[in-house]
Structure 1
Amino acid sequence: MSRLLLVLCLLLAVPVLGVLGSWLGLDAASLAVLRHQAETVLPGYVAQSLLLALVVALGVALVGGACAALVVLFEFPGRRVFEWALLLPLAMPAYVLAYAATDFLQYSGPLQTTLRALTGAQGALWPDVRSLWGAAALFVLCLYPYVYLLVRTALGERAVPLMEAARLLGAGPGRRVREVALPLARPALAAGVALALMETLADYGVGAYFGLQTFTTGIYKAWLVMNDRDAAAQLASLLLLVVAVLLWLERRAQRRLRFAASRRGAAHGAEARPLRLSGGAAALAVGVCALPVLLGFVLPVAVLLRLLWQEALHGEMGLPLARFAQWCWTSFKLAGIAALLTTAVALALGFALRLRDSPALQVGARVVSLGYAVPGAVIAVGILLPVGWLQARWPQAGAAALVTGTLFGLMYAYLVRFSAVALQSVEAGYARVPPAIDETARMLGATRRRLFAELHAPLLNRAALAAVLLVFVDVMKELPATLVLRPFDSDTLAVVANQLARDERLGEAALPSLAIVLVGLLPVLLLSRSLRAEPA
């Protein structure tokens, strides 16, 4: 079993190895392509990606950190509601928010039309939202919950009781926040920002819709428009290098965060009370917490519902309910198969890691864990490059027919991308199972198969269900790899929403977009429920 799992880990690492291996076959033509990119498009890709990353990093740190600090450290009206409501933008994919923001803020949108009617102004009242700055604002609204969640957890475990101790020692409120809470939140802040940046760099939907020149849009343009696989591979490898650095920073911050946390601190957190705010300070706290929820979830959903209503009343063809049912079935089918496959792989890997009988498998599992950090664009290129190489040398093998435009190829991409999500959930479930149970079962003569089937499996029910749910929702929202590798006539909700929005048919794009948001609410609600169950 360990050998089979090791082979599986190597197969899941092939896309990354394929992208990196593209540098091994450099020749004069490839060097000329690389030189041409460096002189033309590469500076623009670097500049826009770097500027976008810097603005998003600053924005998510400020919004997520401020909201987490207010919810944990202070008491104000609506605090209990904001504890879970601040997670709602996690259900809103960035590309869906981009469609809603464009309709609401553009020249012919309801906001500018109403303001021009009231004020008599002429022309556009503000620049087009489809810009780098507009994209950065949208990413901040979608991704700040990463920072909010991690910082809230870190502050809840240690900051409140330590701030209470600082108060007893005579420190004022400002000094307590500045010298106690903020240093404790730094590792969580760094980890959350790194996660947000990985999502930003991996995005394709917003970049393509807004016409940005980022690494991800450049990869697709090189592969699908210019038909230049060498240029696509080189851009993908550069993006992979940046993501690897971000992943290293996130893992480093997470280790520091785990070191800083303690059960004793969490236990005493319930005994220390947050600082009560009143008057203007309380109103400011409510405004700071309400604004990202309104802009990142409530208003976009209202805009999409308005578009859907207008399309139902005034659309030339009405709502495409029959096609919508087909899109839903395709999305649910692909997401369901991918969720079951990745969870099965995660359970097998988790059990093998529990036994610890193969050091090589330990390394292989860590390689699999890197998959979620790899952008979908890189995975698509990493799959197609080796396939093209095999097809050129052994045409009779039919590698291209097996992977490109088939269910097998798409499931392979999903396994590479999302096995890490399921494995993390399974490992978290195993962490709650004492090793002494395994030792007792072995002493009673239980085989490995019986140990898993009769002991581990019942104890991992909730972890496995969480893995299935998380992967299901991620696949429903996934756009880049699905856009390239999907079988013919197998459009998903995400692909259809992207195509309709690209054709400026936002009214028709509202229906699949709302369906994606509705499905995305499931893990958010479960997450908020689990957080409410923990001591504040």
Structure 2
Amino acid sequence: MPIISLIVIAFGDAGEVWPHLISTVLPRAVVTTAWLMLGVGILTIVIGVSTAWLVTMCRFPGRGIFQWALLVPLAIPTYIVAYAAVDLLDYSGPAQNALRWLFGFKNARDYWFPEIRSLPGAILVMSLVLYPYVYLTSRATFLLQSACALDVSRTLGAGPLRLFFAVALPLARPAIVVGVTLAMMECLNDIGAVEFFGVKTLTFSVYDTWLNRSSLAGAAQISTVMLLVVLLLLWLERRGRSKQRFAVTSRRYQALPSYQLTGIRALSAFLACLAPIILGFILPALVLARSVMLHWQDNLNTDFFVAMGNSLLLAVCAAILTAAIGTALAYFARLHNSMFVAAITRISSVGYAVPGTVLAVGILIPIASLDNLIASTMRDWFGIATGLILISSGAAMLYAYCVRFMAMSYGAGETGLQRISPNLDAAARTLGRSPFRTLIEIDLPMIRPALISGALLVFVDVMKELPATILLRPFNFETLATLVYGQASLEAFEKASLAALTIVLVGILPVIVLSRTSGNAHQDEDT
């Protein structure tokens, strides 16, 4: 429904908006977005693939810690890292203050310092947060590679670099494409970081056109361009994997051949894995902690506790709703193995690929129409003035969260149900249990860990979600994410540092889950 609504708004009677957008807004926004996504794609590949290869195939001090520590940048949303980076590297920040004190510079004209609020700055910051997507998929593939193929390559004289570029990298290409696609989609969805850096992407243009220029039709038309970009990314991801089929040649896994690094090589590998962790997590976390300690009185106020309560309420409700609907869809697909059911479940879980701004534009009109219908019905039939209860109550935000994050709950339910033998369900049915009672009494207790993991991921993502929340929230309704965004827009990020740190601490939860579920497929010992 949001997609259909979006298309109707975009191609309805919008006057001369579309020609104006084509001649003024779209060319620059499309080019900027393309450069941003290209830069993030290249840098995430470099960081994610290289670190995944090092911790998988090489032995050096700290390798066991880096295997899970390289995931921790996922705990920080891109917009919070952007605010922390500006706070650290701006003219009045600690980095430039230390530089002026060290060399005796008087003002900015006495020295050169890279401008963080720029397109290259946005590319660097986003890559440091999003590279774990590539790291996860690449490492999983490296772990599952055939030890026989690698052994044969080494027997034929391939050194470490040639083995990586000639054998391992081509085998991992499908997984790398998946990881880069996810990173690019997150890059396209971002609004807080790009606005703070002054990078006018398509997402920023939707926000600016809708709220600042009061043109919903224009925002819908830009959203259709974003939707085309998403479809292009999905097509490229499918095409990148379509003709890639690899199989392990042995019936049992063998320990992967590894390289023992010593001296300068071990130090280089250690620093290569440590750098993205420091830049993508430790430094931003330290900036937040320092700001909280210096401005704790400005942070511990009513606004913070109200925003935290709103965030927790929305996150819990969204996690429960998506878990229930996702499990029902997965169980329905288990009962009815048909192309029609498969198509329905696939469509229902594709919302994660759609940026939050696009969903918000598509959701607003049908929700507002339903709200007006309810209000007019209650007024005409019962004489009660209800107002716009769906939008003012936050139901529109919950709807957007369910659409966007349904894939997580559905995937968790589907994965859990696949591990249950159909014979158990058949036995329950023969004993007189209905499908519903079978699900409640047999299946749900067995898939509870998977459902909890999926609900946890939804909970954390709702806590961090910014684009859809900004566009669909009721008046004077703040969450932790919007509180951080609002204060940063006023150049008063330090007043929301506690809210930002809270989001980071909550974001560590899925990292712990991922670090447990993405362990070694091969039982090799760490040094």
- TM-score where L is the length of structure 2: 0.92
Q: Matches of 1:381 and 1:487 in 2, distance apart?
A: 15
Consecutive unaligned residues of structure 2, counting only runs of 5 or more, are: 379-385
Are 1:425 and 2:405 matched, yes or no? no
Aligned partners of 2:70 and 2:132 also within 8 Å: yes
Aligned pairs (5 A) from 1:163-242:
163-242=150-229
Identity in percent: 41
Match of 2:131 in 1: 144
Aligned partners of 2:47 and 2:131 also within 8 Å: yes
The one-character-per-residue Cα deviations of 1:5-40 (angstroms, maximum 9, x if unpaired) are xxxxxxxxx111211233442x4x53x211111111
Q: Matches of 2:471 and 2:288 in 1, distance apart?
A: 27
1:514/1:186 Cα in 2 relative to 1: closer, same or farther (>3 Å)? same
1:226/1:400 Cα in 2 relative to 1: closer, same or farther (>3 Å)? farther
Match of 1:383 in 2: 363
The one-character-per-residue Cα deviations of 1:272-331 (angstroms, maximum 9, x if unpaired) are 33111112211111111110000000111011111111113xxxx543244322221111
Aligned partners of 1:49 and 1:214 also within 8 Å: yes
1:155/1:224 Cα in 2 relative to 1: closer, same or farther (>3 Å)? same
Aligned partners of 2:147 and 2:257 also within 8 Å: yes
Match of 2:381 in 1: none
Offset of residue 392 of structure 1:
8.6
Q: Which amino acid aligns with 1:368?
A: S
Q: Matches of 1:128 and 1:171 in 2, distance apart?
A: 43
The one-character-per-residue Cα deviations of 1:23-72 (angstroms, maximum 9, x if unpaired) are 442x4x53x21111111111110111011011001100111011111111
1:161/1:523 Cα in 2 relative to 1: closer, same or farther (>3 Å)? farther
Are 1:98 and 2:82 matched, yes or no? yes
Which moved further from structure 2: 521-530 or 334-343? Answer: 521-530
Match of 2:56 in 1: 72
1:234/1:218 Cα in 2 relative to 1: closer, same or farther (>3 Å)? same
Aligned CA-pair RMSD: 2.3
Aligned pairs (5 A) from 1:446-461:
446-461=433-448
Match of 2:38 in 1: 54
Match of 2:329 in 1: 349
The one-character-per-residue Cα deviations of 1:257-281 (angstroms, maximum 9, x if unpaired) are 7x5365957x524x23311111221
Match of 1:5 in 2: none
Match of 1:21 in 2: 8
Q: Which amino acid aligns with 2:95?
A: L
1:261/1:472 Cα in 2 relative to 1: closer, same or farther (>3 Å)? farther
Match of 2:246 in 1: 260
Choose from 291, 302, 326 the match for 2:275: 291
Match of 2:506 in 1: 519
Aligned partners of 2:256 and 2:522 also within 8 Å: no
Choose from 10, 14, 17 the match for 1:33: 17
Aligned pairs (5 A) from 1:389-404:
396=376, 401-404=388-391
Which moved further from structure 2: 422-431 or 79-88? Answer: 422-431
Matched residue count: 513
Match of 1:472 in 2: 459
Aligned partners of 1:330 and 1:492 also within 8 Å: yes
Q: Secondary structure at the match of 1:158?
A: coil
Offset of residue 121 of structure 1:
2.5
Q: Secondary structure at the match of 2:392?
A: coil
Choose from 115, 128, 133 the match for 1:128: 115
- TM-score where L is the length of structure 1: 0.90
The one-character-per-residue Cα deviations of 1:101-145 (angstroms, maximum 9, x if unpaired) are 001000010110011111112433313311111111011000000
Offset of residue 535 of structure 1:
2.9
Q: Matches of 2:248 and 2:6 in 1, distance apart?
A: 41
Q: Matches of 1:127 and 1:33 in 2, distance apart?
A: 38
Aligned pairs (5 A) from 1:307-346:
307-312=291-296, 318-346=298-326
1:126/1:494 Cα in 2 relative to 1: closer, same or farther (>3 Å)? same
1:361/1:396 Cα in 2 relative to 1: closer, same or farther (>3 Å)? farther
Aligned partners of 1:159 and 1:180 also within 8 Å: no
Offset of residue 490 of structure 1:
3.0
Q: Matches of 1:393 and 1:526 in 2, distance apart?
A: 44
Q: Which amino acid aligns with 1:287?
A: L
Q: Matches of 2:23 and 2:412 in 1, distance apart?
A: 45
Match of 1:300 in 2: 284
Q: Matches of 1:176 and 1:374 in 2, distance apart?
A: 38
Choose from 472, 480, 487 the match for 1:493: 480
Q: Secondary structure at the match of 2:518?
A: helix
Q: Which amino acid aligns with 2:177?
A: A
1:359/1:182 Cα in 2 relative to 1: closer, same or farther (>3 Å)? closer
1:75/1:160 Cα in 2 relative to 1: closer, same or farther (>3 Å)? farther
1:138/1:255 Cα in 2 relative to 1: closer, same or farther (>3 Å)? same
Q: Secondary structure at the match of 2:257?
A: coil
Q: Matches of 1:391 and 1:450 in 2, distance apart?
A: 36
The one-character-per-residue Cα deviations of 1:215-234 (angstroms, maximum 9, x if unpaired) are 11100111111111111010
Choose from 366, 372, 379 the match for 2:346: 366
